[in-house]
Structure 1
Amino acid sequence: MARIDWLRIFYHVSFWVVYLFLNTWLGSLFNRIDLNKAFINEASVIPVKILLTYFVFYRIIPLYLDRDKLWKLIGLTSAAFVVAILLYRMTTEWILFPITNPSRNVAFFNWKGIYLIAFDLFITVAAATTIKMIRVHYKSLEFEQELMREKLQSELNFLRAQMNPHFLFNTLNNLYGLARKKSDHTADAILMLSKIMRFMLYDCRAPRIAVADEARVIRDYIELEKLRYNERLRVQYEEHIEPPGGFIAPLLLLPFVENSFKHGAGGTTGTVEISIRLTLKDSILDFEVHNTVDAEPALPRAEGIGLKNVHRQLELIYPDRHELFTGRENGSFRAHLKVHLERN
């Protein structure tokens, strides 16, 4: 059994009640008659207007969407107005006037009267249809926006789903290197990896996390990488988060750090210097990563999955609210991100 939409019924009844009293007032004003008589005049013909309006809504407007039925649309509209004019005329001549003005004698097919009736019906249908089409338009916009939100959310979920295997793959390679060396730090590295994976699996489900939490996982990742590279790795990490902090989409910053170790420490043979600075002040996040690199390669290196992923997430989550630079600069690779976060 179909559910009754009482709110919709209420809106329709409210429209016709307002229309009745507004037209009563206008009829009294322009025809110079008292309100009681104007109300009786309008109440007697409003059923015809209601019938015509809903016929237009549910029989004629749907034809407008089908261009192949143009002639049927024109014919049905014309027929509906002819029938409505006849019903209107019959109501006034055979029911209303005998009660309110018995002495009045007007020909049934009075062209001036028919013109005024047609105009009255047209104004009524036009007003109701305009309101309906505006409502349909806004509902269509809401539907499109909802589809867009769902599409963006699906894309974000896909991007985040890509991040976890990508990160795990790179980190397992690091653990493999430690295991090959039979390093005493292998167990500690596995423990740190489990902490990071727990963060990714559980904390990153929320659309936003505290910047302090993202900073904590960055520190854990730095400690994990230090176990692998020992003395040849020099890391400088600075963190300044102004109270009360802020919230950011999860895993936006970690890929830059991961990239610096992969292409800095992992891509060079000598001493590697990595500098990481994270600042949050007045809801503006400033994040910068520098790492030393070897000489410019003969062929440009394609951007990895991680950074491509972050680029797309920034476009989706912070459109027109972020600035990002990545590239070689004075013998090092530099990534600089500035994001205007939502205020708490």
Structure 2
Amino acid sequence: MKQKQIFLLHFSYWLIFIVNAFISKMVYGKDSFGVLNVTILIANFLGFYVNYFLLAPRFFNPKKFYLMIIGFFIGVFFFVLFRYSIEEMLLPSLMGFRNYAEGTTLGFYFYDNIYYSSLTIFVSTNLWFFQYYFTAEAERIKLIEENKHAQLQALKTQINPHFIFNSLNNIYSLVYQNSDKALPAIEKLSELLRYSTKDLEKDVISLDKEIGYIESLIGLEKLRIKNPEMLVIEKNISYPKINISPMLLVPFVENAFKHGDFREKGFVLKVSDDNKVLHFYLHNYKNQKTKDKASGIGIDNVKKRLEILYPKKHELYIKDLESEFIVDLRIIFPYEND
């Protein structure tokens, strides 16, 4: 809760308190706002803020109700102490009169003032609780966001080494074969690394840039594939500048190239964003000779990021069959992309 809102709550309470005192005077036929009205206002004010700043933070504990009862009566005690000091000690010495009749016992004085102080202590405790709750809630939300950001940064840093490792394996194979495709492959990898190094630091990038990564990656992989025409790519993008987390789609494509069978079958990739719903579909055939137990790192990474970034706003279906791997992902983009 903002400080301005807290101030307005306090101000409203004291305004109502003073207005009520004037109304009471009118109802009971007294014309002036007397000295005793001022003294009880001072006693309420002092009791209110002693409870607000000292007692409520110390005794408020929903799990220990008895502490709250103790805190309430201590608050009443301070109200009584303030009122007694002002009306029964200070007023007689300065103005020659007191509020209660002389000889009034302390027991009666305390009991009588439970009535006058209860509302003040109750409101004071509740206002403190509201401030505490909203402050704690704001800190909790901030902590969640900070944890999300830290987790996303950690997840994103996992992508880059994984991506480099896969690409270097491909280039190593070209170099080993003395292929004239090795140099273009290195150039394309350097382009990809420049983009990824710069954009992985950002929270979001444009959708067309993410797809650009994928197209560059496919261009890099085509250099080692004998039949690149088997890579079927369909792109239908109406909102190229819509925001998306960087490297969110790339791991699926990486995974397809790492474990796919491109001798005779290739793969099918479809990307569209009709009505601002991203649809990413990828179907590839597995290379039965490759059995890499670490193949799930990139996919698991994406699953975690999707849960953090688009909770209840995405659907991810993965079919991991004996000879095929299918990814069907839909993301409903948030309203801030409008």
The TM-score normalised by the length of structure 1 is 0.82
Aligned to 1:337: 329
Deviates more, 1:83-92 or 1:101-110: 101-110
Letter in 2 for 1:142: A
Displacement of 1:323 after TM fit? 0.5
How far does the alpha carbon of each residue in 1:209-248 deviate from its partner, in whole angstroms, 9 at most, with x for none? 1111111111111010000122277101111011465211
Q: Displacement of 1:206 after TM fit?
A: 1.7
- 1:51-107 deviation digits (Å, cap 9, x = unpaired): 22232233323432689x999987776465345325424544567799999799834
The alpha-carbon distance between structure 1 residues 71 and 225, as it changes in their structure 2 partners (threshold 3 A), is: closer
Does the residue aligned with 1:37 lie in a helix, a strand or coil?
coil
- Residue 47 of structure 2 corresponds to 52
**Amino acid corresponding to residue 280 of structure 1 in structure 2:** D
Cα deviation, residue 126, structure 1 = 1.1
Give the aligned partner of residue 167 of structure 1. 163
Change in 2 beyond 3 A, CA 1:138/1:124? same
* Partner AA of 1:42 in structure 2: N
- C-alpha separation in 1, matches of 2:172 and 2:294: 25
SS at match of 1:162: helix
In the alignment, the residues of structure 1 paired with residue 148 and residue 78 of structure 2 have an alpha-carbon distance, to the nearest angstrom, of 51
CA distance in 2, matches of 1:104, 1:211: 76
Correspondences of 1:28-177 after superposition (within 5 Å): 28=25, 31-34=28-31, 36-37=32-33, 40-64=35-59, 78=73, 81-82=76-77, 84-89=79-84, 91-92=86-87, 106-109=101-104, 115-177=111-173
CA shift for structure 1 position 46: 2.0
Q: For 1:272-331, what per-residue CA distance to the aligned partner results, in whole angstroms no more than 9, with x for missing partners?
A: 31110000111100000011225699x996751000000000001001000111114695
Identity of aligned residues (%): 25
**Aligned partner letter, 1:85:** V
Contact conserved, 1:293 with 1:333, CA < 8 A, in 2?
Answer: yes
Call closer, same or farther: CA 1:244–1:157 in 2, change over 3 Å: closer
State the match for 2:177 in structure 1: 181
Q: Deviations over 1:181-227 (max 9, x none)?
A: 11111111111111111111112322111111111111111010000
Supply the RMSD in Å over aligned alpha carbons: 3.7
Aligned partners of 1:45, 1:232: CA distance in 2, in Å? 89
Q: Residues 311, 74 of structure 1: CA spacing in aligned structure 2 closer, same or farther, 3 A cutoff? A: closer
1:306 alignment partner, one of 285, 292, 298 = 298
* AA aligned opposite 2:51: V
Letter paired with 2:21: T
2:223 paired with 1:227: yes
Alpha carbons of structure 1 residues 250 and 86: separation in structure 2 relative to 1, 3 Å: closer
| Counterpart Cα distance in 2 of 1:9 and 1:132 | 9
Which range moves more in the overlay, 202-211 or 322-331? Answer: 322-331
For residues 206 and 333 of structure 2, the distance between their equivalents in structure 1, rounded to whole angstroms, comes to: 11
After the TM superposition, which residues 185-334 of structure 1 pair with which residues of structure 2 at under 5 Å, given as runs? 185-231=181-227, 234-243=230-239, 245-265=241-261, 270-294=263-287, 304-328=296-320, 331-334=323-326
For 1:3, the equivalent position in structure 2 comes to: none
**Any idea what SS the aligned residue of 2:114 has?**
helix
SS in 2 for 1:106: coil
Aligned residue pairs, count = 332
2:51 and 2:124 in contact (8 A); partners too: no
CA shift digits 1:118-173 (9 cap, x unpaired): 21112112112211111111100111111111111111100000000010011100
8 A contact 1:210–1:245 mirrored in 2 = yes
Aligned partner of 1:130: which letter?
N
For the residues of structure 1 that align with 2:98 and 2:65, how far apart are their CA atoms? 45
Conserved? CA contact 1:63–1:73, under 8 Å:
no
Any idea what SS the aligned residue of 1:277 has? strand
Deviates more, 1:152-161 or 1:51-60: 51-60
Amino acid at match of 1:312: K
Give the aligned partner of residue 24 of structure 2. Answer: 27
Q: What is the one-letter code of the residue matched to 1:230? A: K
Question: Quick one: which amino acid aligns to residue 118 of structure 1?
Answer: I
Shift of 1:47: 2.0
